[in-house]
Structure 1
Amino acid sequence: MAERDSALIERPERPGRPGRPAQTRAVGLPAGLLRTARPRQWIKNVLVVAAPAAAGDLGSWHAAVQLAIVFALFTAAASAVYLINDALDADADRAHPVKCHRPVAAGEVPVTVAHTVGAVLGIVAVAGAAALCGAMTGALLAAYVSMQLAYCLWLKHVLVVDLAVVTTGFLMRAMIGGVALGIPLSHWFLITTGFGALFTVAAKRYSEAVQMEDQKGATRALLGEYTTGYLRFVWQLAAGVAVLAYCLWALESGGVAASALLPWRQLSVIAFILAVLRYAVFADRGTAGAPEDVVLRDRALAVIGLMWVAMYGLAVADL
């Protein structure tokens, strides 16, 4: 009995996780860091190809390599922000019924480790962008990291500004591929992308507000300050502006090439509007809280998206 008591006394314990062996903690730390970096959110960074795709400049190895580098660097920068955000919000997340399972809040990743890894990733991402893709790309990525850190510390508590900051983050993703390849960004591209991003962000907030109406104390900052009517107005307005801008761009982009079978660029308006209308179904139901799930799991939306890609590709190729 004495030997058993001695063994229990000598066994190292982790605060908040009694009896968990040190070896298990060591193995779990990399996995915890990876989970904190939100791999499911990395799909958003595919937007780095938006500007080159809009310009029809995806056909060279140089462009492919540059975009792969930009994707990796933007993913590192976004992961850095997630790590630092979770470290800053660890105490608040422990009181949240869902966020308490995040690795930092649950004690799987120490706060100091999350801060350190986040800072290193952010610095490496910005420095790598400047060295590998040019000073302007590095400056844009530095602006993204700075803005997101300001959001984590302060801006997420400012009404409307919080929506603008998250929207701008999406817009920067769409811009950085064009900046890295030296592609001029048209005003129609920026308007369509910006308001399309606002549509997605406001729909996400609206869905969260609908689902958490009776749990205002257990949701993100400021969500209780918005009414569902206001958020519905924002995503409907943003969807309308995005559709209008895309239509004007498609109609003003020039004539149809003699070799083209059909005016594919103009016809792509149909697929674009259908995609917006399909996504709006989930927004209206209050089930667009996770945009990546909507995009990946809805087959009809995926088919519409492929139709749009095919039409746009044919327009670029003048077929």
Structure 2
Amino acid sequence: MGDTSNMPLVVDLDGTLTPTDTLQESLVRLLRHSPMSLLCLPLWLMRGRAGFKEAISKRVTIDAQKIPYCAPLLAYLHEEKSRGRQIVLATAAHHTTAEEVSRHLGIFDKVLATHAGNNLKGLAKLKAIQENVGGAFVYAGDSKADLPIWKQARAAILVGVAQRTAAQVRCEVSIEREYPKLSSGVAVWLRALRVHQWIKNLLLFVPLLTTFAFADINKLGSVVLAFLAFSFAASATYIVNDLWDLESDRAHPRKRLRPFACGALPILHGLLVAGVALGLSLGVASAVSHGFLGMLVTYLVLTSLYSWVIKEYVLMDVLMLSLLYTIRILAGSVVIGVVISSWLLAFSAFLFLSLALVKRCAELVSLNEVGAGATRGRDYRVSDLVVLWPLGVGAALCAVVVFGLFISAPETQARYATPKMLWLVAIGLVYWMARLWVKTSRGEMHDDPVVYAIKDRGSRLTVIAMIGAAMAAYFVTLELQP
């Protein structure tokens, strides 16, 4: 077909230049800032695709600096531009979005995009290209919808194209460049679902352990089902939260690599998986008991309030996080039908407040290391560390004090065979919490202290030792000298 290296290079936007879908991102942003707009979507859809995009673009704009780009393709476009090749952006996205991207990247000679009444996709895009560029061009695209354009192009650039579609294109035109799709396999979905965070839901087993009823198979089975229900619900909320926080996550040094933030997973797929996970969660919860279902719904309401409103307010967010940890213990007590003691509730409240503050301090330390002064999407500044450090350490010590008072309580003295052995647990708590705070100050803490504790050998050994000491205090009778 001859040399095509000097022919105009026409580039698609959604799925090609960027792995994300700008229309879906616009919808998420619109619903975040104006939830009532959801009621208007059916009316806008009646205007056709071009009219729908026009209605969305009037209300929100995409920040071209924040969306992810296909780095290898973008590097190639810059290289071709530097040697004088004409680069054209041709997309079904609304023209306001396309022009914003063009201004940001500064490499396009011309922009062809959707205007009111003309949705630039498929044959409509091909016609616009032929009218504005001519018949000799190279086209970079990503999907089956681009086949009519590739058939008329002199060469193709394939970006994340499915194997079957790629084979069809190879039969029609020569391939100038080919870039693989971002990985979206099982491992990526496990990251999006945050299966490693399911460890938090082991708190449901706490009432089973504190009542030493783990030998009761029926109760154990019920708690296992409750664990699965909470885990599915948590994964659903994690996905929705990640979609809600796309902009702020992309400004974060580590969160920008999350599957939805970097464009490895489509937004629409995320919503579908979240819906399925939520349905499974509610189904399993209803099979456990109506009381537990009520606790799960309460958790979903509170975590939604946290994600949509409360996390933007300083300190209120960490208080809500500590409540979300504690509600897992309450849910576990509902499953096995026991009443949680005020000692356990007070201890949990202070302990989880300290862990929540560890999480915030770790984020601020990370931001400080890269020279940032404040979090995006949350009302925290690096200068707040002087207040958050003592508050978090103080909360940890309060938890230890509550535990010490629990050891001396008459009901504990009557229930445990050797209650004085529980002081070993108290010592373990002091060491473990102090260790977490020291690691945080050194910048070694993961964003989530629970995840860090799982990976940290010292934390694992300390927690195991504390559990062993608590069980020994309950079962083993020793004559300890005062």
TM-score (normalizing by structure 2): 0.59
- Whichever structure has more strand as a proportion of its residues is 2
2:235 aligned with 1:82, yes or no? Answer: no
1-structure distance, mates of 2:275, 2:160 = 28
Indicate conservation of the 8 Å contact 2:407/2:419, yes or no.
no
Aligned 8 A contact 1:35 1:103 in 2: yes
Q: Which amino acid aligns with 1:312?
A: A
Q: CA deviation at 1:32?
A: 3.5
Q: Pairwise mapping of residues 142-291 of structure 1 onto structure 2 (< 5 A)?
A: 142-213=297-368, 214-216=371-373, 219=376, 221-224=378-381, 227-252=384-409, 253-255=411-413, 260=417, 263-288=420-445, 289-291=447-449
Offset, 1:227: 0.4
Letter of the 2:452 partner, please give it. Answer: V
Match of 2:287 in 1: 132
- Decide whether aligned partners of structure 1 residues 296 and 92 sit closer, same or farther in structure 2, where only a CA change above 3 A counts: closer
| 1:306 corresponding residue in structure 2 | 464
| Aligned-pair CA distance for 1:78 | 0.7
* Paired residues of 1:250 and 1:269 also in contact (CA < 8 A): no
> Aligned with 1:254: secondary structure?
helix
Cα shift at 1:266: 4.3
Q: Hey, which of these two has a bigger chunk of helix by percent?
A: 1
Provide the residue aligned with 2:480 in structure 1: none
In the TM superposition, residue 313 of structure 1 has moved relative to its aligned partner by 1.0
Residue in 1 that maps onto 2:49:
none
Residues 365, 382 of structure 2: 8 Å contact kept:
no
What displacement does 1:140 show? 1.1
Q: Residue in 2 aligned with 1:104?
A: 260
Q: What residue is the counterpart of 1:20 in the other structure?
A: 160
Which protein has greater RCO, CA pairs closer than 8 Å, 6+ apart? 1
The 3-state SS of whatever aligns with 2:263 is coil
Give CA-to-partner distance per residue, 1:240-292, whole Å, 9 cap, x none: 2111111111111333679x467333443233333233333224434334313
Question: Which amino acid in 2 is paired with 1:305?
Answer: V
1:316 shift after superposition: 2.8
Deviation at 1:70, TM superposition (A): 1.4
Structure 1 residues 96 and 66, CA gap change in structure 2 (3 angstroms): same
Q: What is the total number of aligned residue pairs between the two structures? A: 314
Cα separation, 2, equivalents of 1:262 and 1:51:
18
Aligned with 1:305: secondary structure?
Answer: helix
Q: Report the equivalent of 1:93.
A: 249
Displacement of 1:185? 0.5
Bigger shift: residues 135-144 or 289-298:
289-298
Of residues 240-249 and 62-71 in structure 1, the stretch that sits farther from structure 2 once superposed is 62-71
Contact kept, 8 Å, 1:50 with 1:175, in 2: the verdict is no
Displacement of 1:64 in angstroms is 2.0
Q: In structure 1, give the amino acid aligned to 2:427.
A: I
Rounded Cα–Cα distance in structure 2 between residues aligned with 1:315 and 1:240: 22
Partner of 1:294: 452
Distance 1:312 1:96 in 2: 40
- Cα distance 1:226–1:69, how it changes in 2: closer, same or farther (>3 A)? farther
With 283-292 and 165-174 compared, the bigger mean Cα shift is at: 283-292
Alpha-carbon distance change, 4 to 103 in structure 1, aligned in 2, over 3 angstroms: farther
- SS of equivalent residue, structure 1 residue 302: helix
Q: Contact 1:175–1:185 (CA<8 Å) still a contact in 2?
A: yes
* 2:15 maps to amino acid: R
TM-score (norm 1): 0.86
Amino acid at match of 1:89: D
C-alpha distance in 1 between matches for 2:250 and 2:466: 43
Conserved? CA contact 2:415–2:474, under 8 Å: no
Q: How far apart are residue 36 of structure 1 and its match?
A: 0.9
Query: 1:34-83 deviations in whole A, cap 9, x for unaligned?
Result: 22111222222222211221222211211221221111111111100111
User: How much does 1:224 deviate?
Assistant: 2.1
Name the counterpart of 2:55: none
Q: 1:108 Cα deviation (Å)? A: 2.6
Q: Which amino acid aligns with 2:295?
A: L
- Find the aligned partners of 2:183 and 2:394 in 1 and give their Cα distance: 48
Give structure 2 stretches of 5+ with no counterpart.
20-157, 164-179, 478-482
What's the % identity of the aligned pairs?
23
Tell me which residue corresponds to 1:50. 206
Cα shift at 1:98: 3.1
C-alpha distance in 2, partners of 1:106/1:298? 28
Q: Which moved more, 1:77-86 or 1:18-27?
A: 18-27
Residues 60-71 of structure 1 aligned to structure 2 (within 5 Å): 60-71=216-227
Conservation of the 8 A alpha-carbon contact between 1:80 and 1:117: yes
| Cα distance change, pair 28–301 in 1 and its aligned pair in 2 (3 A) | closer
CA distance in 2, matches of 1:183, 1:149: 27
- Distance change >3 Å, CA 125–CA 3, structure 1 → 2: farther
Cα distance 1:66–1:26, how it changes in 2: closer, same or farther (>3 A)?
A: farther
